């Protein structure tokens, strides 16, 4: 029956690649395999009796309240034209600097990541606003597209990130489960706030790698990043314009992240602050009316419903997987790999990276992490370090072809002269940079663990 559990996991991947809805694929495959296991005498149907308590646990999970609130904040900011103002101001600041538009895209992507965290909205917005201008000024199409897509995915690792919220909740349960299996009945906890603090330095490291790559390209292939055009502003008028544009979103970032990292508010409370702040910024930009607010609420409801439907289906999937003995199979496999915990972690990172080519971060978070998380944590892997490593790894799933979402987002708004080949060639260097960031955090775990320990005492 353990091999039936493995077959169930492979069947889910195969059905997802055929394009079936994620939630129904997870639930349907789990029920089918549970039925086969029951008929074969290897699955106790009593396992299904714990499903209602799992659903009730999801409903009562206060951490997950942050998901709709952060989504609401991100959608509101996306509709308030903040990205457009930021791009204009950044382009004016960089002025005639060679590659200035590309540096502006990275800077704006970083700011939007720390304030919205919604990849689709960021990539589409920057694709509409900056890609035509970059092409008009002679930028290389592949480099332009890659810079936009990579900068748009920074919201997956830079807090407040929905990925980190979901990972934090899953790893918290996995960490407690791992400690209980070790006979520790007063288990330590790992929170979303720990992951937010742990991801800050790795997120900035990734931004630095992007900038260094663009600097290198300005010297290596200067014709691919031509100099900018003067904006007509200089001196104090330019600085005043930049401050007027930058200070409101920076204030929101400080309010949300500062309250979490400083221990003043929980992620859910900080997300509600972010939602109110986003509404105030929309009012400040005169972009909030009844019709737009209704659009924001509908988008929030649609995205949140999708996430929670997948979460409930994944709960059923993991329950059946455990009932078929899949946990024991995975534990035996990872424990038998050479290299101990590092060998097991390397194998899991490789599997997650490869899965990112065919399925997205939500399925990996809800299906794979609950299976491998308790095993890795029981082997002694630091939970914050593991969460940050997984977050960086999951970020690559937005860029890896053929199903990287950022590729589809930009393809939908790119001018006709930007081909699919340009998109694929453009993301390759940035995928390599993300893997380099993963390797650096692997080699120097303190990049992820130092700040949480300095702030909270850590694990």
From first to last of its 459 residues, the chain has per-residue pLDDT tens of 667 887 888 888 788 777 778 788 888 888 888 888 888 877 777 778 778 887 887 788 777 888 888 888 878 877 777 777 777 777 777 767 788 888 888 988 888 888 766 666 678 777 887 888 888 888 889 999 999 999 888 888 888 888 888 888 888 888 888 887 777 766 777 888 888 889 999 999 999 999 999 999 988 888 888 876 565 556 677 777 777 878 888 888 888 888 877 778 888 888 888 888 888 888 887 777 888 888 889 988 888 888 888 888 888 888 888 788 777 777 777 878 887 888 999 999 998 898 888 777 877 888 888 888 888 888 888 899 999 999 999 888 888 877 677 887 788 778 888 888 888 899 999 999 999 999 999 999 999 999 888 887 644
pLDDT at 445: 93
pLDDT at 435: 94
Q: Are 399 and 154 in contact (CB under 8 A)?
A: no
**What are all long-range contacts of 12-20, with beta carbons under 8 Å and residues at least 24 apart?**
12/317, 12/363, 12/367, 13/355, 13/358, 13/359, 16/358, 16/359, 16/363, 17/358, 17/359
In angstroms, the CA 150 to CA 148 distance is: 6
| Residue 189: Cβ within 10 Å count | 11
pLDDT at 146: 92
Question: pLDDT of 10-61, one tens digit each?
Answer: 888 788 777 778 788 888 888 888 888 888 877 777 778 778 887 887 788 7
In the numeric block, the tokens 């509101």 are attached to 76
pLDDT at 116: 67
Q: Are 350 and 85 in contact (CB under 8 A)?
A: no
Chain centroid, CA 447 distance in Å: 18
Chain centroid, CA 258 distance in Å: 20
Could you tell me which of 366, 436, 361 has the C-alpha nearest to residue 119? Answer: 361
Q: Are 115 and 249 in contact (CB under 8 A)?
A: yes
In angstroms, the CA 325 to CA 1 distance is: 7
pLDDT at 206: 94
Torsion of CA 314, 316, 318, 322, to 10 degrees: 180
pLDDT at 447: 93
pLDDT at 117: 65
Could you tell me which of 383, 355, 365, 381 has the C-alpha nearest to residue 318? Answer: 365
Question: pLDDT of 267-302, one tens digit each?
Answer: 888 888 888 888 888 888 777 788 888 888 998 888
Chain centroid, CA 353 distance in Å: 14
Backbone φ and ψ of 41, nearest 5°: 80, 15
pLDDT at 243: 79
pLDDT at 458: 47
């Amino acid at each position: 029956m353990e091999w039936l559990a493995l077959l169930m996991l492979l069947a889910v991947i195969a059905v997802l690649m055929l394009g079936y809805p994620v939630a129904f694929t997870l639930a349907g495959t789990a029920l089918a395999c549970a039925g086969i296991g029951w008929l074969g005498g290897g699955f106790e149907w009593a396992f299904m009796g714990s499903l209602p308590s799992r659903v009730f646990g999801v409903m009562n999970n206060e951490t997950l309240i942050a998901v709709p609130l952060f989504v609401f904040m991100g959608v509101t900011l996306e509709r308030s034209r903040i990205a457009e103002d930021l791009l204009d101001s950044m382009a004016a600041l960089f002025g005639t600097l060679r590659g200035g538009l590309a540096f502006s895209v990275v800077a704006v992507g970083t700011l939007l990541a720390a304030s919205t965290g919604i990849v689709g909205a960021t990539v589409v917005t920057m694709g509409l606003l900056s890609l035509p201008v970059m092409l008009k000024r002679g930028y290389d199409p592949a480099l332009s597209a890659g810079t936009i897509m990579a900068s748009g995915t920074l919201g997956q690792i830079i807090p407040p990130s929905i990925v980190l919220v979901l990972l934090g909740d899953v790893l918290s349960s996995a960490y407690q489960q791992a400690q209980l299996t070790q006979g520790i009945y007063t288990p330590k906890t790992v929170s979303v706030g720990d992951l937010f603090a742990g991801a800050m330095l790795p997120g900035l490291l990734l931004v630095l790698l992007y900038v260094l790559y663009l600097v290198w390209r300005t010297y290596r292939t200067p014709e691919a990043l031509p100099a900018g055009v003067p904006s007509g502003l200089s001196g104090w008028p330019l600085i005043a314009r930049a401050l007027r544009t930058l200070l409101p979103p920076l204030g929101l970032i400080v309010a949300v992240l500062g309250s979490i990292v400083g221990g003043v508010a929980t992620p859910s409370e900080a997300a509600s602050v972010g939602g109110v702040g986003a509404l105030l910024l929309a009012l400040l930009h005169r972009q909030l009316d009844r019709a737009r607010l209704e659009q924001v609420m509908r988008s929030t409801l649609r995205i949140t419903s999708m996430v929670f439907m997948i979460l409930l289906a994944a709960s059923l999937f993991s329950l059946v997987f455990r009932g078929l003995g899949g946990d024991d199979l995975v534990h035996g496999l990872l424990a038998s790999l050479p290299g101990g915990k590092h060998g097991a972690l390397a194998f899991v990172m490789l599997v997650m990276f490869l899965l990112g080519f065919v399925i997205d971060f939500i399925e990996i978070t809800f299906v794979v992490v609950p299976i491998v998380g308790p095993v890795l944590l029981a082997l002694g892997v630091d939970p914050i370090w593991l969460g940050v490593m997984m977050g960086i790894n999951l970020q690559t799933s937005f860029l890896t072809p053929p199903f990287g979402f950022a590729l589809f987002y930009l393809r939908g708004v790119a001018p006709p002269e930007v081909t699919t080949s340009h998109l694929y060639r453009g993301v390759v260097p940035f995928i390599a940079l993300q893997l380099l960031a993963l390797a650096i955090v692997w080699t120097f775990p303190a990049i992820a663990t130092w700040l949480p320990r300095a702030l909270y005492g850590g694990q």
